[in-house]
Chains A and B, each alone.
Chain A
Amino acid sequence: MKIKNIIITFVSAIALLLSTSVVSFAKVVGDKIILGAAISLTGKYSSNGVHTQNGYNLAVERINSMGGVKVGGKSYKFDIIYYDDESNPKRAAQLAERLISQDGVEFMLGPYSSGLTKAIAPVTEKYGVPMVEANGASRSLFTKGYKYLFAVLAPANLYLDVAIDLAVEKNNGKPVRIAQAFEQDAFSQDVRLGILEAAKRTNSEIIIDDKLPKELNDMAATLVKVKQMKPDVLVVSGHTKGALTAIRQIAEMKVDVPMLAMTHCDAAKLSKQHGKNSQYALCASQWHKSLTYKDKFFGTGMKYAKDFEKQFKYDPPYQSAESSAALLVFKDAFERANSFDQKKVRDALAATNMQTFYGNIKFAPGGQNVDKPMVLFQVMCDDSGKCENKVVAPTKWASAKLIHPIPSWSKR
């Protein structure tokens, strides 16, 4: 009996040892670099979660088919382990823990949304796992002093401040009166901070400053105030629901405002769901296919959009484009580090300075991308009611001229 016990203990110890040693080699198995990602495949973020995953997958295929990643004279291919975080921050943090400590993943890709990235970042930071994320724009991600977090996108406070500059420019450089309505969540409140800074910078006055509760899909009261106080620009950010609600109620209540700027227009499929009612709305976007950035993997934005459409049968939203860019950043960093040592890869990531089809990428010490401005597009419709998004600012990337002020409802 005693001998049996000793044998069992011995065998289990060996098994345990083997299992742990497998884990420690899991980051790079054979010629594969295994990345981990918790993605919202179910739950309230599942649409954008799928956009993110499609972006990652397209980039993995493209990089692998074009020779993979060259490290130490050997060519490696990317592979991603996905888990579904159910759009739940707690679950996302658990899965990050699992990816790192059980699956032995040593490099991570980000989840969808600022909230989930916030949940995962402390975990990756604790284990010193470099994470390149493409869908967490909240400013608070970049003020915590994280060393292993890198975001290819511009932070949330830069989303709509371009619109205020534009409004001031159209007002002959004079300050403007701003009305704003933002949902009470981390992202939208960061967008709000950006507007506050822009208002201060331009001496503009904020005359309406409403915070929309998350559970609310009615902003009639805010719009009544807008009708009464007649601001020069109305700024709205409340994810997809906010964009759809704003356009619906502005059209129904015939609210005339010279400039309307918002976020999440393409995720909300504004022009599809609202048609001509969405016309003239200005929308902040991380990327637009008409921008002329280039790289050797995807070519231009137009080419990327075409390839994406061919594979997934829909036009790529910016969430997919930025996700693809995250893989390009990883490849570049691995090759420059010429190693799989996490510290070296982290340092290489921090020194990133490259152009991708999605835009220039260069990280600030906080981890946010400081080399890629946001763009504003305007929804423009032709007489047949077909609507298209055209970039109008910054001027360098503009493909159409801004229509300002928005014609009043009685003249439409």
Chain B
Amino acid sequence: MITIQACLDGVLLGVLFALIAYGMALQWGVMNIINIAQGDLVILGGYIAYFMYLYGIHPAWGVIVSPIIMYFVGVGIYKLVINKVVDRDLFISILATFGISILFMQLMNFAFGADVVLANSGYGTTFLFDSNVVLPNSKIFSAVVSIVFAICLVIYMKKSKLGRAIRATAQNARAAKILGVDTEKVYAATFGINAALCGVAGALISITFTIHPYMGLPYTIRSFMIVIVAGLGNLPGVAMSGMGLGVFEEFADYLLGTEFRIGSVFLLLVLILVYRRFKLSRKREYLK
């Protein structure tokens, strides 16, 4: 029973992380930008849902409202800062987004205060296997919403004109430009979509966990790791590695104790990177 509980907890957690990582993979792949402010966008999205909750609107509506607002926030950030660093060195973009991250933290702290807050969904609990496995409905809700958004996005990327333009730009920005794709617009839209995904995730986090202006960084790191493990442009891989990491985390927590939870995830990351390098070097030798 414990195994099932840990697996389900891990999957539900992982799906949510995968959604954030999905946005990161998208804009990293398209714009070659590592967005350190990813987690702060998530928290900002969470605050939108929280304020709806404060004003008596059910926070679940946040998953609709928050991405809409966050899309424009994302486009705004792109127009103000990111468009100036998009063709530059990766290091410059890390610095720029790190700056945005600090600015966002301070602004959120100034605007919303430093209290830890949460939005109560009142969704209750699901009991499985004779009450031996317990799943909060808010977590199930957040996993379902994450999956729905991810599927919609995959379809949108495949079918829509903008989606195709984004994929073309990701493959070769120069060629796309020659063929008439307005890459500037594509970049803005990509950053906007990423922010919107963060908005959805933030709203879900305010329902399932807690939010605080300075809590963004763990989400950035986690999504960074998921993308590293999955590789860029590998969207099913992002989903799988998100869930895999979630399950791994829960098991590590259960078996080794909570203090080893984050450490074991990082250890796994190192092992995967070493393994990959090993595999790649073998491939190179073979090619010789």
User: Which residues of A approach B to under 8 Å, CB–CB?
Assistant: 42-48, 87, 181, 184, 209-213, 215-222, 224-225, 227-228, 239-241, 244-245, 248-249, 252-254, 268-269, 273-275
- Asked if B32 is at the interface (CB within 8 A of a chain A CB), the reply is no
Residues from chain B with Cβ under 8 Å of A245 in the complex: 209-210
Cα(A27)–Cα(B110), bound, Å: 33
Cα(A274)–Cα(B116), bound, Å: 12
Least CB distance from A316 to B in Å reads: 16
Residues from chain B with Cβ under 8 Å of A273 in the complex: 117-118, 120
Cα(A219)–Cα(B258), bound, Å: 8
Q: A209-B257, A221-B250 are in contact. List 17 more A-B contacts (CB 8 A).
A: A44-B213, A47-B115, A87-B114, A212-B258, A213-B259, A217-B210, A217-B215, A220-B250, A221-B258, A221-B261, A228-B2, A240-B116, A244-B116, A248-B118, A252-B136, A268-B116, A273-B117
| 11 A-B residue pairs with CB within 8 Å | A42-B109, A42-B110, A44-B213, A45-B114, A46-B114, A87-B114, A224-B5, A240-B115, A252-B125, A252-B136, A252-B138
Contact A216 B262 (CB under 8 A): yes
In the complex formed, the residue of A with least CB distance to B221 is A215
Cα(A157)–Cα(B117), bound, Å: 27
Task: Identify which of B106, B134, B259 contacts A211 (C-beta below 8 A).
Answer: B259
Contact B250 A253 (CB under 8 A): no
Residues from chain A with Cβ under 8 Å of B231 in the complex: none
- Asked if B15 is at the interface (CB within 8 A of a chain A CB), the reply is no
Least CB distance from A196 to B in Å reads: 16
User: Among residues 166 to 192 in chain B, which have CB atoms less than 8 Å away from a CB atom of chain A?
Assistant: none
Residues from chain B with Cβ under 8 Å of A269 in the complex: 115
Least CB distance from B164 to A in Å reads: 38
Task: Identify which of A42, A184, A218, A221 contacts B254 (C-beta below 8 A).
Answer: A221
Least CB distance from B91 to A in Å reads: 25
Least CB distance from A209 to B in Å reads: 8
Residues from chain A with Cβ under 8 Å of B116 in the complex: 239-241, 244, 268
Least CB distance from B176 to A in Å reads: 38
Q: A215-B218, A254-B125 are known contacts. Are A44 and B258 too (CB-CB below 8 A)?
A: no
In the complex formed, the residue of A with least CB distance to B258 is A210
Contact B212 A253 (CB under 8 A): no
Residues from chain A with Cβ under 8 Å of B110 in the complex: 42
- Asked if B100 is at the interface (CB within 8 A of a chain A CB), the reply is no
- Asked if B113 is at the interface (CB within 8 A of a chain A CB), the reply is yes
Least CB distance from A313 to B in Å reads: 15
Contact A46 B113 (CB under 8 A): yes
Task: Identify which of B6, B115, B120, B214 contacts A274 (C-beta below 8 A).
Answer: B120
User: Among residues 112 to 154 in chain B, which have CB atoms less than 8 Å away from a CB atom of chain A?
Assistant: 113-118, 120, 125, 127, 134, 136, 138-139
- Asked if B9 is at the interface (CB within 8 A of a chain A CB), the reply is yes
In the complex formed, the residue of A with least CB distance to B123 is A252
Residues from chain B with Cβ under 8 Å of A249 in the complex: 136
- Asked if B13 is at the interface (CB within 8 A of a chain A CB), the reply is yes
Contact B114 A222 (CB under 8 A): no
Least CB distance from B245 to A in Å reads: 13
Q: A215-B218, A273-B118 are known contacts. Are A44 and B212 too (CB-CB below 8 A)?
A: yes
Contact A216 B261 (CB under 8 A): yes
Least CB distance from A223 to B in Å reads: 9
In the complex formed, the residue of A with least CB distance to B117 is A273
Contact B262 A227 (CB under 8 A): no
Cα(A211)–Cα(B259), bound, Å: 5
Residues from chain B with Cβ under 8 Å of A253 in the complex: 125, 134, 136
In the complex formed, the residue of A with least CB distance to B12 is A220
Residues from chain A with Cβ under 8 Å of B2 in the complex: 224, 228
Cα(A210)–Cα(B212), bound, Å: 23
Contact B118 A222 (CB under 8 A): no
In the complex formed, the residue of A with least CB distance to B124 is A252
Cα(A124)–Cα(B203), bound, Å: 45
Residues from chain B with Cβ under 8 Å of A42 in the complex: 106, 109-110
In the complex formed, the residue of B with least CB distance to A245 is B210
Least CB distance from B233 to A in Å reads: 28
Cα(A217)–Cα(B211), bound, Å: 9
Cα(A74)–Cα(B209), bound, Å: 57
Least CB distance from A272 to B in Å reads: 10
In the complex formed, the residue of A with least CB distance to B120 is A274
Cα(A240)–Cα(B259), bound, Å: 19
Cα(A269)–Cα(B127), bound, Å: 29
Contact B209 A210 (CB under 8 A): no
In the complex formed, the residue of A with least CB distance to B222 is A215
Task: Identify which of A44, A213, A224 contacts B262 (C-beta below 8 A).
Answer: A213
In the complex formed, the residue of B with least CB distance to A211 is B259
Residues from chain B with Cβ under 8 Å of A216 in the complex: 218, 258, 261-262
- Asked if B232 is at the interface (CB within 8 A of a chain A CB), the reply is no
